[in-house]
Structure 1
Amino acid sequence: MKRTNILIAVLLFFQIMLRGQQKENVGVSPWGPQDQIGTLNMMTEDSMLQVLSKISSGKTYDLSVEYFVGMPSFHSLGDPGYQYWLTHTPHGTIVDNPNGLGEEMNRKVSYTGDAISMYTHMGTHIDALNHFGLDGKIWNGFTPEEHLGDKGWKRTGAETIPPIIARGVLLDVADAKGPVPKNYHITSQDLQLTLKKQGINLNSGDVVLIRTGQAEFYEDASHYLDNYPGIGLEAVKWLVEDQGIMLLGADNLSFEAFPPEREDNWVPVHTYLLAEKGIMFIEQLFLEELSKDKVYEFAFIAASLKLRGASGSPLRPIALPITKKK
């Protein structure tokens, strides 16, 4: 009996190890060896026109957050925070006379100018497919040895991200479940419960936005950054492999929850989406107004800055309610 128990324990151990160490491989694009945008290829002129034709209201929901000094950032990883400074002020222009037009002109015409410095993954932004890779490669097998120069990636940079127009769906998990606990990994059961309560279905090619409720604390960086909930790997796989979604987003700092579910990968959701499946996602969305008005289906329209070679870019997404299917 003792020997049998030991054998069972050993078998269970190896089963757990195998599950924990399932091989993760960089994906090869079904859109060809030069593809740089992954599932955003699912958009077509017809699909965009179809969703635009269903807009039922002129009311616009801004899904982006504000940028300000002291805003939440990835400073714990050594990335720079948001900085803002004035380059010209009305009185300073009078004193410095930078345009050479003299005091009288500069008293009449006030002049204010400013500049910013920031990490590309601050505020509402989209992650490009070069942001995370696996085993020395990024999506579609591109490598830094061949495709990364001193001025950024030659493949899958933020400049390749097209304007996005698609059916958007809000999954208001924080409303369906109540307050989401710290470090909670949202499951596919949570998402299905949310869909049922909201009375909607997902379609292939959708943009799915997940509300954890974390955006409520965005103005308080220490609270916003503290043990936030996010989506789990199993739930992401359900959205991708069973529902065929095109793009994902959430209102927390880094989309997935921490600590990670795998011991051999500190960002398994990031690498699964970006490197394995070619699916970009949006972080630090503002979804509170959609939630308040119970707007769960909408035309999602967004465009990012064309930052050549960058691993991400600020995004200004908007939502316009659409007519529901009868």
Structure 2
Amino acid sequence: MCGPELITEATRHKIAAYAAEFRKVSRSPFGSGDEIGMLNLLSADKAREVVRRADGGAAIDLSVDLFMGMPSWVKAGDPPFQQWMTHTPDGTLLDNLTGAGDTQNRLVSYSGDAVSMYTHTGTHIDTLNHFGYHGEIWNGFSAAQHLSSRHWTRCGADKIPPIIGRGVLFDVAGLHGVDMLPDNYGIGAEDLRDALKKQGTTFSPGDIALVRTGRMTQWPDPVRYIDNSPGLNLSGARFLAEAGAAVIAGDNSALEQMPARDPENWQVVHTYLLGEAGVPIMELVDCEQLAAESLYEFAFLGAGLKIRGATGAPMRPLAMPLSR
């Protein structure tokens, strides 16, 4: 299954969660220059093995569409997804911005567009500079020394490597026999243990954890999907971090239970995973097809946009069934 009792001493020293101190950013077990935390638990050998066993002909897209009016995090004043045409065939005839002239513009129908979005829109990864404590982030990097006028100079999305490894679904909604967990339900360690037991699944250090609440059944309703979301509580986050998760993903908007039950910390799971445990987070990951096919173990492949210094980046992760 998984749990602290199954982690070897050698591996335990590589998992930051075991040395974490309450509400203090952790120093990385991978050195003073480390910017990716538990992604260091991924290995080339494991990636080769999982790709060798992966059925690329049955790949499942775990991402959501990006579109105007989509559910997104706007409660803190962050901008919604916007898209607009920058070139249209008729407009090109009128303004001739290309300088190609009327004859060529009639022949060549030119369309182009642009987008504007918060980096935490749609299916995306949260990097280790997204949350911390008292002006510091993972590994002791500080806003005073490592935050420029435009972006962090440490732990940005450009540092996140392609994520290739064994993915494991924790179908907590399925465990409880519901399509979706109740509003504001907190997923704890017992839920995660019981999900593995029911599924007959194991979880090992370096695996990628996907937690299903069933919230994606409400997509794309901007109110029902975002507000009062079920998600991981601190107990559940600690369980996965101590089990050696390289990344933790959820099918809801913030991974964690929202609103949080901690009266002093409105992002208790984010600050713990990113600041203390060094575990990157993925959000808005669609787990519905995985659950429908009872696909609890799979090859996971995903890569985010390399936006320099960014606190998050869009992703298009894929899951592929594994051969025996």
- Give me the TM-score of the superposition, normalised by structure 1: 0.90
Q: Which residue is 1:83 aligned to?
A: 82
Q: Would you say the 8 A contact 1:86–1:114 is kept in 2?
A: yes
For residues 208-287 of structure 1, what are the structure 2 equivalents within 5 Å?
208-241=209-242, 243-287=243-287
State percent identity of aligned pairs: 48
Q: What is the Cα deviation at residue 57 of structure 1?
A: 5.4
Aligned counterpart, 2:161: 162
User: Is the deviation greater in 215-224 or in 270-279?
Assistant: 215-224
- Report if aligned partners of 1:57, 1:322 keep a CA contact under 8 Å in 2: no
Of stretches 158-167 and 285-294 in structure 1, the one that deviates more from structure 2 is: 285-294
Secondary structure of 1:75's aligned partner: coil
| 2:169 counterpart of 1:174 | no
- In the alignment, structure 1 residue 151 sits paired with structure 2 residue 150: yes
Residue 110 of structure 2: aligned partner = 111
Work out the CA distance in 2 between the residues paired with 1:254 and 1:307.
21
Q: Which letter does structure 2 place at the counterpart of 1:79?
A: D
Q: Aligned equivalents of 1:222 and 1:260: distance in 2?
A: 18
Aligned pair count reads: 302
Q: 1:268, CA displacement in angstroms?
A: 0.9
Aligned ranges for residues 19-30 of structure 1 at < 5 Å? 23-30=22-29
Counterpart secondary structure, 1:210: strand
> Does the 8 A contact of 1:129 with 1:139 survive in 2?
yes
> Over the residues paired in the alignment, what is the CA RMSD in angstroms?
1.3
SS in 1 for 2:53: coil
Which residue identity does 2:140 align to in structure 1? G
Counterpart amino acid of residue 82 in structure 2: Q
Deviations 1:278-324 (A, max 9, x none): 11010011111111111111110011111001101001100111134
Change in CA separation of 1:89 and 1:57 when aligned onto 2, cut-off 3 Å? closer
Distance of 1:141 and 1:47 partners within structure 2: 30
Give me the whole-angstrom Cα distance separating, in 2, the residues matched to 1:56 and 1:311.
32
String of CA shifts for 1:221-243, please: whole Å, max 9, x gaps. 121112111111101111122x2
Residues 244 and 23 from structure 1, CA distance in 2 versus in 1: closer, same or farther, beyond 3 angstroms? closer
1:23 Cα deviation after fit: 3.5
Distance 1:176 1:34 in 2: 41
Structure 1: gaps of 5 or more residues: 1-21
Q: Distance in 1 between matches of 2:301 and 2:259?
A: 32
Distance (Å, rounded) in 2 between the aligned partners of 1:199 and 1:57: 24
| Structure 2 spans left out of the alignment, 5+ residues | 1-20
Contact 1:69 1:84 in 2 (8 A): yes
TM-score of the superposition, structure 2-length normalised? 0.90
Q: Which of structure 1's runs of 4+ aligned residues deviate more than 4 A?
A: none
Pairwise CA distance, 1:263: 2.0
Q: Does 1:98 align with 2:107?
A: no
Shift of residue 151, structure 1, vs aligned partner? 2.1
How far does residue 56 in structure 1 lie from its aligned partner after superposition? 4.2
- 2:317 corresponding residue in structure 1: 317
**Does structure 1 residue 206 correspond to structure 2 residue 214?**
no
